């Protein structure tokens, strides 16, 4: 932009001295303003389209985690109200918590047993998992959230196998007894689907052509705009171009940060807080059930 201002300033001096070709050059440059407006419109469309795609991924990830919290707590409430076997209910609550932390680790490309992961040992220290259970989770070739879901289903099967139907709050003579498993299964299916939704959001990044087109449009537009604007605003061109390009780069960088919402940036999903919320709320539901105050 500085070179453009120097060049058009030199042309303006020549035009003032009566040099005809310099006058024609200035006229032609100023007549390009409408063309620059068209290019600018296309560039803004490209920039806004890219940012909207990035924001959509970020927003969808937040919605998925909101649904995960809701379904985990819904399952925890059903567990304490409908599972009559205390030991099995405690086990199911523990695996609900594991499901949340395992989902967080998976979405960050890690696992509960990774050397740089503190959640796995933390779950053992807090008594949510035993060392043998953590080893079983880490040794399994499947994704760890699905392992937790499999354990939740196994607990439900055990509860239904208790002799006389005493593992469920409603005995076998009650017509609701046969519907309890279906209610549990509906919530668990939703939890399973949310893992897949989050994985899809994480793995399906923006096409490389999006970034290439945006960067190319950035240089083309500001390169041509600086040349055309300098014919009208002179040495204000570097100021205007620097300000506009700075704001544009901020939008590009912000969009790039939103593309992967499961990282450690400030704009990313606070999965640590979400997991801690699920754990605290599950414990609160368990404690409320044990106290028997709200039966």
Give the pLDDT score at 194: 93
Task: At 224, list the tokens.
Answer: 């041509």
CA angle centred on 255, ends 249 and 256, rounded to 5° = 90
Task: At 274, list the tokens.
Answer: 């979400």
Task: At 151, list the tokens.
Answer: 């354990």
For the chain, which residues score pLDDT lower than 70? 1-32, 165, 170-178, 229, 231-235, 292-295
The candidate with the shortest Cα–Cα distance to 73, out of 286, 290, 291, 294, is 286
Give the pLDDT score at 26: 61
- Buried b / exposed e along 256-270 (16+ C-beta atoms within 10 A): bbbbbbbeeeeebbe
Task: State the alpha helices, DSSP H only, in the chain.
Answer: 2-16, 20-31, 33-82, 86-107, 119-125, 131-139, 144-161, 177-203, 208-233, 237-259, 271-291
Other CB atoms within 10 A of residue 131 CB: 10
Q: Tens digits of per-residue pLDDT, 241-257?
A: 788 888 888 888 888 88
d(CA 225, CA 237): 9
The candidate with the shortest Cα–Cα distance to 94, out of 135, 130, 136, is 130
Using DSSP's 3-state secondary structure scheme, residue 168 falls into strand
**CA-to-CA separations, 30 to 20, 91, 142, 165, 276, in angstroms, rounded:** 16, 75, 64, 86, 61
Task: At 66, list the tokens.
Answer: 């909101």
Q: Which residues make beta-bridge pairs with 83?
A: 168
Q: Is the pTM of this model over 0.75?
A: yes
Give the pLDDT score at 101: 94
Handedness of CA 25, 31, 34, 35 (dihedral sign): negative
CA angle centred on 238, ends 235 and 241, rounded to 5° = 135
In the block, residue with structure tokens 């998976």: 106
In the block, residue with structure tokens 């506009």: 244
Task: State the alpha helices, DSSP H only, in 162-270.
Answer: 177-203, 208-233, 237-259
Query: What number of residues does the chain have?
Result: 295
Contact 7, 192 (CB under 8 A): no
Contact 128, 90 (CB under 8 A): no
Give the pLDDT score at 264: 84
Query: Which residues are CB-neighbours of 280 under 8 A, at least 6 positions away?
Result: none
Q: Tens digits of per-residue pLDDT, 59-71?
A: 999 999 999 999 9
């Amino acid at each position: 932009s500085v070179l453009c201002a120097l060049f058009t300033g030199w042309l303006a001096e020549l035009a003032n001295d009566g040099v005809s070709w310099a006058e024609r050059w200035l006229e032609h440059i100023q007549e390009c303003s409408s063309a620059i407006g068209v290019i600018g419109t296309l560039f803004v469309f490209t920039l806004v389209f890219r940012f909207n795609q990035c924001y959509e991924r970020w927003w969808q990830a937040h919605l998925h985690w909101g649904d995960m919290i809701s379904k985990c707590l819904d399952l925890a409430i059903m567990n304490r109200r409908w599972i009559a076997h205390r030991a099995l209910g405690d086990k199911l609550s523990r695996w609900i918590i594991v499901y949340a932390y395992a989902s967080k680790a998976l979405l960050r490309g890690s696992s509960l047993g990774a050397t740089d992961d503190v959640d796995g040992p933390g779950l053992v220290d807090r008594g949510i998992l035993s060392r043998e259970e953590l080893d079983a989770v880490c040794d399994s070739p499947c994704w760890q959230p699905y392992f937790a879901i499999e354990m939740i289903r196994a607990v439900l099967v055990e509860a239904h196998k208790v002799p006389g139907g005493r593992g469920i709050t409603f005995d076998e003579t009650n017509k609701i007894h046969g519907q309890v498993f279906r209610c549990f299964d509906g919530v668990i299916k939703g939890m399973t689907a949310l893992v897949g939704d989050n994985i899809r959001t994480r793995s399906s990044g923006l096409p490389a052509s999006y970034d290439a087109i945006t960067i190319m449009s950035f240089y083309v537009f500001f390169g041509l705009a600086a040349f055309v604007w300098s014919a009208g605003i002179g040495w204000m061109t570097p100021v205007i171009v620097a300000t506009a390009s700075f704001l544009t780069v901020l939008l590009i960088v912000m969009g790039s940060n939103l593309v992967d919402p499961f990282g450690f940036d400030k704009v990313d999903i606070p999965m640590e807080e979400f997991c801690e919320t699920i754990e605290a709320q599950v414990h609160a539901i368990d404690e409320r059930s044990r106290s028997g105050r709200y039966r």
